[in-house]
Chains A and B, each alone.
Chain A
Amino acid sequence: MELKGRKIFGGRGEGKAIVSSEGISFYGGVDPDTGIVAEAGHPLEGKSIAGKILVFPQGKGSTVGSYTMYRLKKNGKAPIAIINKECDTIVAVGAIISGIPCVDKIDIEKIRDGVKVKVDADKAVIEVSE
């Protein structure tokens, strides 16, 4: 299945999807050293986003979150690419400064957790394995 969205930051990547139905606050919500989601009660709590295609509706919380994304990238714990329903300022800026491919305006409900996803952010296209 191919889905078309909008490019936030270019690049390509392929990997397993980790899907959150809730927004993610990178500052305080994700451990910058391990890539593990730390927010209490979050659907992804205790799971690692490192090396995955991270799928979630949009960012939330403090604007310092952009720097947390950058810290993840530098620590080798960033997601391969990000897919959002509606990208917000924090995630957009974080993706740009960290160089993480990012596409939004995607109907993320069509992506199941664990499936293989190919992201071509330059063309704003993603390919989801059935």
Chain B
Amino acid sequence: MELTKEEKEMLEGKKGNAVKKSMEILVALGEIFGAEKLIDVKSVQIAGVSYDNLGDAGLEFLEEMAKDGKVKVFTTLNPAGMDLENWKELGISEEFAVKQKMVIDAFAKMGVLTTCTCTPYFVGNKPSLGEHIAWSESSAVAFANSVLGARTNREGGPSALAAALTGKTPEYGYHLDEKRKPVVTVEVKTELRNVVDFGALGFVIGKRIGNKVSFIKGIPKASIEELKSFGASIATYGGTALYHMEGITPEKAEEAEERIEVNAEDIEDAKKELSDGSEVDFVAIGCPHCSIKEMERLAELLKGKKVKKETWIAVARPVKEEAEKKGWVKVIEESGAKFAADTCFVVAPIKGRFKCMATDSAKGVFYARGKNKFKTVIAPVEKLIEIATS
């Protein structure tokens, strides 16, 4: 890989230890994937924030990098393992809370905005068409590449941090035009009614085509919430970083020769596969984090009702604050539902705490089963509130 004079100095350690370590990561990745050079990025989203995943060693690594590392570009953060204010009510231990706060402090010291959300695009980190970025968090990567038309590979926590501390990423994969072209066309031959249907579609396509770039036809319209759900699901089940949707996503793309079809039966089968429980004791909404529109809908549905089951609503703190101004937070809290801002039911340390989780998120189902050992029910939000309040 060709490095500029400045980049060579960064690699040699002339700009400090954190920059040196970061350059070692970026150059090694560039060599492995055949990049010719490093390119500048406009923004970064960092995953690997929950202390549940990092442990003490991960925390030490971040503190080491924070000694002399400072972000060079606008950088936001994935959800933490707990609500940074409301953690006690969510049943998080004091010991965990102390360590989690140390993780957040290390990121803050490096100049990372501690947004703690998987939906950075709702809180000001919203890249434009064609912009190069370096994001981790698979659902956000799918959203940025596809819905916004920005350009990023699926970064891991350390490689995203390395990009933040240098402002650079190796030029390979989804940064290049030829890697963004569809290689399979998907014809959707059924009507999709809500975020659950879109999540089921992501499940079906992801399982069938894996991480291939697709050109999806036959969807007349899709809301931001539906695209958020679809991208999270296709990324979870297929490892997908980028899809094109005819008439909906902004990047110019052409149909590919290889074709697959998705019909009504596929969607129904997927929804059956995503539900394997019945005795719900936990209702979880907001994977990825709720939009402001979803907050309004929850307030409408919960007004004057009381939840009888543990109910969590995961959301970015600024979106919650916006909803607070509208009076929706008060209405929701009066129902007994709890907010899980800064965190979510995927990364919080809740393994084995519940038996069966109901959610509207296909991605949420995957982690509820694998990481947390819950059974699952998937249903649209109206049905979820019915379950929660009965």
Q: Interface residues, chain A, CB within 8 Å of chain B?
A: 6, 8-9, 27, 32, 63-64, 66-67, 70-75, 87-90, 92-93, 96-97
Contacts and interface: CB of A to CB of B under 8 A. Distances in A.
A66 to B, nearest CB: 5
Contact of B57 (A27, A32, A89, A96): A32
7 contacts: A32-B55, A63-B154, A67-B54, A67-B57, A96-B28, A97-B61, A97-B158
A8 B157 CA distance: 19
Given A8-B32, A63-B48, A93-B25, A71 B55 contact: yes
Contacts of A93: 25, 28-29, 156, 158-159
Given A87-B32, A89-B156, A67 B25 contact: no
Interface in B19-52: 21, 24-25, 28-29, 31-32, 47-48
Contacts, number: 70
Interface of B: 21, 24-25, 28-29, 31-32, 47-48, 53-58, 60-61, 136, 154-159
A97 B21 contact: yes
A96 B21 contact: yes
Nearest to B155: A63
A67 B159 contact: no
B156 A96 contact: no
A9 B25 CA distance: 9
A63 B29 contact: no
Contacts of B29: 89, 92-93
B156 A66 contact: yes
Given A63-B156, A67-B48, A67-B55, A96 B60 contact: no
A74 B32 contact: no
The 6 closest A-B pairs by CB, nearest first: A63-B156, A71-B57, A74-B57, A67-B58, A64-B53, A93-B158
A8 B25 CA distance: 10
Given A67-B54, A93-B25, 7 more contacts: A8-B28, A64-B157, A67-B55, A67-B58, A71-B58, A92-B25, A96-B25
